Structure 1
Amino acid sequence: MPSVALDGDPVPRTGDLPAPSLAELGDRPLGFYVHVPFCVTRCGYCDFNTYTADELVSRDGTATSSRETYADQAVAEVELADRVLSGDRPEVSTVFVGGGTPTLLPAEDLGRVIAAIRDRFGLAADAELTTEANPETVDPGYLARLREAGFTRVSFGMQSARPHVLRILERGHTPGRPERCVQWARAAGFEHVNLDLIYGTPGEGDDDWAASLEAAISAAPDHVSAYSLIVEEGTRLAARVRRGELAEPDDDTMADRYLMADEALAKAGFTPYEVSNWARSPEGRSRHNLLYWTGGHWWGVGPGAHSHVGGTRWWNVKHPAAYAARLAAGSSPGQAREVLTAEERRFERVLLELRVADGCPLDLLEPHGRAAARHAVAEGLLDAVAHDGGRAVLTRRGRLLADAVVRDLT
């Protein structure tokens, strides 16, 4: 949940959505994202909308927001969503709890939010319920309670297996802890477990990245996400790079690391189903993320959370205190919104669907985009798959240059 502020139109106090957007509710899956904005410390590379305890205390020393009351606020927004998304709507197929550090909250509090969604909307029989977890904030008992609360999937932030890389990222967990967390999650009954990795950290060598991949694969998750490090303005990492203390990540190195990941994961039986995500089987794929990438509907609960329903996109006020105050007053916590035009929605479909393994339909492309697609096929960046009217699918080399391919096609 990046902390970038966006401009848009005002959100009605009631949170009501345009009728044409509501009319689309029954056409695609519906999910919930729940943002938990609390962290013990802020990692040096992180630009997400998160807050430490010290940042939630006013000048007179009183707390402006707290972990203890957060579940109540999240439940209140679920109740608002129930009022706004009236009429013909599907049961909820996915819930993803992210942060921040969701596992700073008691497992029972996270379970209360899941229960509110189930009671208000209903959960599909095969609903995917995911939470992110910091390895240092969970133990076997906590993971067992998460499973009892209904969660079916857990995602651990591993980032690296090398201590010096973790220090540069300012990650607090001990090397080896994420691998033990996978074992504990399996013992608790979680069938689907993800490990998140980051590559391209200053000071990381090829052998460091190879060791991280080996450690992640040996832990036997059924899903691995690997993201290139982005130096976000305003972070401590960006300040260190600007001062020359650390080197800016190099594009060629990033490409080499991506290929190392793809090769190692493929050898271990993982298949890429999106540019940065690999799963051992179709069942192991993140259905919630696929909902984002394929134009589904989702309601984002929490400070700074983003939502999308039927071409209307909105985002909540960022600070937890402002979020709580809006809900206490019976108002939507929405800060601003935009209603996408047909052309904007077409562009986003190309941008997102091209990243997934099935690619995007060629009939989404304008004539110049189809010409660019033919050129990309000749350059080895795209496969043109002749089914369902034809689809543009990124090759392995195309995945390395996905952003450039999208620019050409749109």
Structure 2
Amino acid sequence: MNTVLPVVERTVPPLVLPESAREGLAGTPFGLYVHVPFCATRCGYCDFNTYTSDELGPGANRAEYAGTAIDELRRAARVLGPDLPTVSTVFVGGGTPTLLPAADLAAVLAEVHRLFPVAAEVEVTTEANPETVDLAYLSGLREAGFTRVSLGMQSAAEHVLAVLDRRHTPGRAVQAAHDARAAGFEHVNLDLIYGTPGETDADWAASLDAVLASPVDHVSAYALIVEEGTRLARRISRGELPMPDDDVLADRYEQADATLRRAGFDWYEVSNWATSDAARCRHNELYWANANWWGVGPGAHSHVGGLRWWNVKHPAAYADRLARGESPHADAERLDDDDRALETIMLGLRLREGLPLDLLSETGRRRAADAVVRGLLDEAAHATGRAVLTDTGRLLADALVRDLTD
């Protein structure tokens, strides 16, 4: 029997946007993220802020969630106004956004258009689990104004999906990509995970081949990370599964990059490839540029002008705050110039364009010169004053970021 414990909240001051954070807000790219925290089942590797029906407890109603999210959108417009920023991207993530009816997602997007000025070429993305969508559902989203769909494929090997606790069949993601195209989506992404225990070289090659046989213009491929507290981590700690091998992960990445390049995909961020500039995920680029966005939903994070805040995690607590007319944020922090500079380096170095060397400290610039000698940063780019990862450098991007920012 599940026991739902009472949620004890501490008092948090109201969210107030400093005037300094408003400077330039109306004239800079701005994104909205909408978090949908519901999943049919919990994947063994996932540590996102998501909940199955059994985990929700009282006070969290999936059927009313769109209305609750709209309440926060209205609060966002009040806090950000009167000179509201123009929304250039909207990203609906999760969880599994497509567990909600398409009409609910359409209602949230319609409210965005009602509340905010919206760019003519706005990018509107939803994540989707392949088993939760069909042609009719995707057609409804496209008609509502969604322009991009990101499908969680993870693997084309049935036994790999089983280890990840994914429910869809190996071919379902590819069929969903075809359905998205048929529904009128110009931009379709498939997500892959590599390095799952039991995955072979042939499994990974088959997954890449399946992606390239589908009508996508964007691919994301992530190394499996074993997060503490997940079912996968417990299975590994008990010796049921081996820990992913770093050398195997590097080999998988190089294989993905070579295969995707031959098919006309170019990397633009360490884990992301696109067939053109138009196919890039502009919402994620906004994050990587350390720009401004408001995150709607339980556990969602926001950043505006150096002020960062995050919402309470549980859907019931989130809904209760909004029902009482209160801000759902749990806490906030003001980033100083050093904090923002550090984050700009950490995020910017992962991009194909790299970043200006003068953003680094004197020590960082010396280490960047050494990284050129070691083949991790591009020599020609360094000569023009930029730090740009080489192919080898991408394999060691996280370590190099730490080295340049310590």
1:127 and 2:122 correspond: yes
Task: Map 1:112-191; keep pairs closer than 5 Å.
Answer: 112-191=107-186
Task: Map 1:243-392; keep pairs closer than 5 Å.
Answer: 243-384=238-379, 390-392=385-387
Residues 181 and 215, structure 2, Cα contact 8 Å, conserved in 1? no
Cα distance between partner residues in 2 of 1:386 and 1:378:
13
**Aligned to 1:171, what secondary structure does the other structure show?**
coil
Cα distance between partner residues in 1 of 2:23 and 2:351:
27
Cα distance between partner residues in 1 of 2:346 and 2:365:
15
Which residue in 1 is equivalent to 2:6?
none
1:75 and 2:70 correspond: yes
Which residue in 1 is equivalent to 2:22?
22
CA deviation vs aligned residue, 1:168-224 (integer Å, no higher than 9, x gap): 000000110110111110110000000000000000011111100110111120000
Cα distance between partner residues in 1 of 2:111 and 2:13:
23
1:385, CA displacement in angstroms? Answer: 5.2
Residues 384 and 391, structure 1, Cα contact 8 Å, conserved in 2? no
1:87, CA displacement in angstroms? Answer: 3.7
Residues 381 and 387, structure 2, Cα contact 8 Å, conserved in 1? no
Residues 355 and 402, structure 1, Cα contact 8 Å, conserved in 2? yes
Which residue in 2 is equivalent to 1:31?
31
Which residue in 2 is equivalent to 1:217?
212
Residues 295 and 349, structure 1, Cα contact 8 Å, conserved in 2? yes
**Aligned to 1:403, what secondary structure does the other structure show?**
helix
1:408, CA displacement in angstroms? Answer: 1.6
Change (3 A) 1:139 1:388: farther
Residues 361 and 389, structure 1, Cα contact 8 Å, conserved in 2? no
Residues 34 and 97, structure 1, Cα contact 8 Å, conserved in 2? yes
Partner residue of 2:61 out of 43, 58, 66: 66
Cα distance between partner residues in 2 of 1:87 and 1:305:
23
Percent identity between matched residues is: 64
Change (3 A) 1:178 1:386: closer
1:387, CA displacement in angstroms? Answer: 9.4
Q: Which runs of 4+ in 1 moved over 4 A?
A: 384-389
Using the size of structure 1 for normalisation, the TM-score is 0.94
Which residue in 2 is equivalent to 1:54?
54
Cα distance between partner residues in 1 of 2:42 and 2:219:
23
Give 2:227's aligned amino acid.
E
Residues 359 and 391, structure 1, Cα contact 8 Å, conserved in 2? yes
| Larger displacement relative to structure 2 (63-72 or 296-305) | 63-72
Residues 381 and 388, structure 2, Cα contact 8 Å, conserved in 1? no
1:384, CA displacement in angstroms? Answer: 4.8
**Aligned to 2:378, what secondary structure does the other structure show?**
strand
1:24, CA displacement in angstroms? Answer: 3.9
Cα distance between partner residues in 1 of 2:21 and 2:173:
41
1:363, CA displacement in angstroms? Answer: 1.1
Which residue in 2 is equivalent to 1:3?
none
Cα distance between partner residues in 1 of 2:59 and 2:383:
54
Cα distance between partner residues in 1 of 2:122 and 2:383:
28
Show structure 1 runs of 5+ residues with no match: 1-8, 58-62
* Alignment: residue pair count: 396
Cα distance between partner residues in 1 of 2:302 and 2:97:
19
Cα distance between partner residues in 2 of 1:87 and 1:228:
43
Change (3 A) 1:89 1:146: same
Give 2:31's aligned amino acid.
G
| Larger displacement relative to structure 2 (400-409 or 313-322) | 400-409
Partner residue of 1:228 out of 220, 223, 231: 223
CA deviation vs aligned residue, 1:316-368 (integer Å, no higher than 9, x gap): 00000000000000010000011011101000000000001110111101111
Using the size of structure 2 for normalisation, the TM-score is 0.95
RMSD over aligned CA atoms reads 1.5
Cα distance between partner residues in 1 of 2:336 and 2:118:
31
**Aligned to 1:190, what secondary structure does the other structure show?**
coil
Residues 77 and 84, structure 2, Cα contact 8 Å, conserved in 1? no
Partner residue of 2:191 out of 193, 196, 205: 196
1:386, CA displacement in angstroms? Answer: 5.2
Of structures 1 and 2, the one scoring higher in RCO (CA 8 A, sep 6+) is 1
Residues 39 and 51, structure 2, Cα contact 8 Å, conserved in 1? yes
Give 2:136's aligned amino acid.
G
Which residue in 2 is equivalent to 1:5?
none
Cα distance between partner residues in 2 of 1:11 and 1:390:
44
Cα distance between partner residues in 1 of 2:289 and 2:258:
26
